[in-house]
Structures are given as C-alpha cells and as structure tokens.
Amino acid sequence: MKDDRIEQLLQNFNEANLQPLWTLESDIMPHKPNPKSIPFLWKWEKLYELAEEAGELITLERGGDRRAIALANPGLGGMPFATETLWMAVQWLNGKEVAPAHRHTPQAIRFIVDGAGSYSTVEGDKVYLERGDLVLNPPLLWHDHGSESEERAIWIDGLDIPLTKYLNANFFEPMHKDTQEVNTIKNYSILKYGSGTLKPAWEREKPVYPPMSTFKWVKTEQALLDLAKSGAACPHDDIAMEYINPLTGNPVMKTFSCWIQMLRPNVHTQAHREVCSTVYFVFEGSGYSVIDGIRFDWKQGDLFVVPNWKLHEHINTSNERAILFSINDRPTMELLDKYRAEKYEENGGHQIVTSVFE
C-alpha cells in the first residue's frame, strides 16, 4: 500500500513539474566530475586535407565569414565543441583574401600555424602575422583578418563559445564592411607593449585584457629557452609558460588561459589531473600522451583533448624538443572556486597504458 502511495507521489511530482532530490542526487551531485567529452586526437594530415579542400570550394560571405573547421568531440553528441567549455578549430585563409570585420561576446584567440603574409586587425591595430604568433580577440572588439600574399594562411582558433552558449549570453555583430579603418602605424601595439615587462611610464591604467593584440613567436621561444636554462621545470608539464596580461599578471582571457610548453628531449612528465579541460596543438616535434590509461601518439600539427579530471602525462620520445600550445578553462574554474588538482602517486607517477588510440 505504501509503495502505491510513493508511486502516486512521484507521478504527482512529475505532473507538477517537480523532481525530488532523492531520485536524482547521484546524477546532479556525483562523487567526482564526469565529463561527457572524451580524450580524443585529430590528425593533422586529415585536418589539412579537408581545410585545403574547403579553401577551394567554400567562399567567404556575410553570415559565414570565417572558413573555420571545428573540432567535434565524439562524446558531446554531435556538438561542434572540443570540450564542454572550449571551442577549437582550424581556420584557412586563401591568398589575397579577407575575412570580414565583426565582433562578438565569445572571447577568442588565434595561434598561427603559417602566416604567409597574413595580418590581423583588432580595434584598428594592424599586426602582420608569423608562424607561432598568438593573436588576441577580447569580447566585443572589432577584428578582421586578411592576406596580402598569394599564399594561404592557416591558424588555430580557440574560443569560449560552448560556455557562452550555455549562459545564453552570445551577441554577434558584423561591421558591414570587409576591413576596419587602421588608425595606427603597423604593429603599433607590439612596438608599444611588446616587451612584456616594460610599459610607457605615463600610462597608469591596468586594462582588463592585454594592451597588445599579438604575442610574437620570437619572444615566446626565447622565454621558453631562458626558462629551460634556469633549471626550473614543472614535474607535470616540463618547461611550461602561461601567456599573461603584462600589466596585471592575469591570464590573457577571463574564461580561459593560453599556455606554451616545451618538452625537452626524452622527458617523461608525472601524471596528474585537474578540474579543468585542455585542448593541445602540437606546434613542433613528436611524442605521446597518456590520458586515463590511453596512449595518444602525436606529431607536429595534431590536436588532442584532455577532458576535465582525467589523468594525463606527456612523453617526448625523440632527441629533439617538442612544443605544445594549449588552451584551458582553468581561469573559469578558479574564478568560481571549483578548481582542484591531484597528482598521481602510484607506479612512480606514471600510468599503466591499457590501450592505444587509433
């Protein structure tokens, strides 16, 4: 008799659009993170092949003004997202082509795979791009991209589109002209703020986002080499550096961070896991990463995902350096007081490989 009353009570809850906590507690408050995104790797050969074909077939027009091909994590049910919070894509720009000016609320970055005479203009600041440069597009700043050479340009896009979509906070606005007015000399923000440790003495404000639109590779590479010479290294990431706002010390974006790391020859890092998700782009070299027991072999150009709270470690199997660029949502987790990290104590800090990603 009591069971019948409980069944009727649950039915009444349902009809009243109510749900009792005791029937769903393990789903909404699990004992540990259970992300839907899965560890995965995209091979550069296939990415490049498809991006090149898209460059031949797809024109840039209003409403679809970026030839970007998003990483779609198989665990997310067909959504064009790399993780629950991060969007990552390969973007292709043909020679003499312009990706028209627009702005949007998602925070965005571009990491240049091959500049080949391309440029990016952010709020009137036109900077010419080279391989390894990091370009910043803070929210609601006008930006357009173009090429002044006959060669194609290709880069990696990173945005917080999934998070913005979840919050239902997206705004997008085209400028209705291809290029914005350039009101400074070329590479202005680089010349003014590019040292990273010095600024004009008469400027006292501390802008929320970095005052320069681009971090140049030549200085990034030197910073990695200098850190390696110092003898300091992270047991989990080896020679790892975070791009920051030089005037505040904060990450370059509020919702996600950008990292560059160098795995020295034959380095095998210690495994750990974090309450944050990360998407990696292999800028140089080859090796493999073990993610929750699965071995992912990678080489230059590949991209791979480490979802939230998954054990991971990196191995450089060669006698040459390997360089990984990555974005992660750690700033969001820290801001919301959700971040947590845990190192792997067993087996000398190294996971047992249970399978190999094919």
Q: Tell me: the pLDDT tens digits for 157-212?
A: 999 999 999 999 999 999 988 899 998 898 999 999 999 888 899 999 889 999 99
Query: Quick one: how far is CA 134 from the chain centroid?
Result: 11
Question: What are the phi and psi torsion angles at 63 (to 5°)?
Answer: 95, -20
Residue that has been written with the tokens 């073990």 in this structure? 290
Nearest alpha carbon to residue 253 among 108, 82, 83: 108
Token pair listed for 329: 């949502």
pTM above the 0.75 mark?
A: yes
Q: Is the pLDDT of residue 41 over 80?
A: yes
- What does the block give as tokens for 230? 């110092």
Cβ pair 252, 328 in contact under 8 A: no
Confidence check: pLDDT of 141 > 90: yes
C-beta separation of 238 from 269 below 8 A: yes
- Whether the pLDDT of residue 338 is over 80: the answer is yes
- pLDDT value at residue 62: 58
What mean pLDDT do residues 244-260 have?
A: 97
Res 63 pLDDT > 60: no
pLDDT for 27: 87
Length of the chain: 358
34-356 classified as CATH 3.40.309.10: no
Strand partners, 154: 92, 114
Q: Are 87 and 37 in contact (CB under 8 A)?
A: no
* Mean pLDDT of the region 116-143: 95
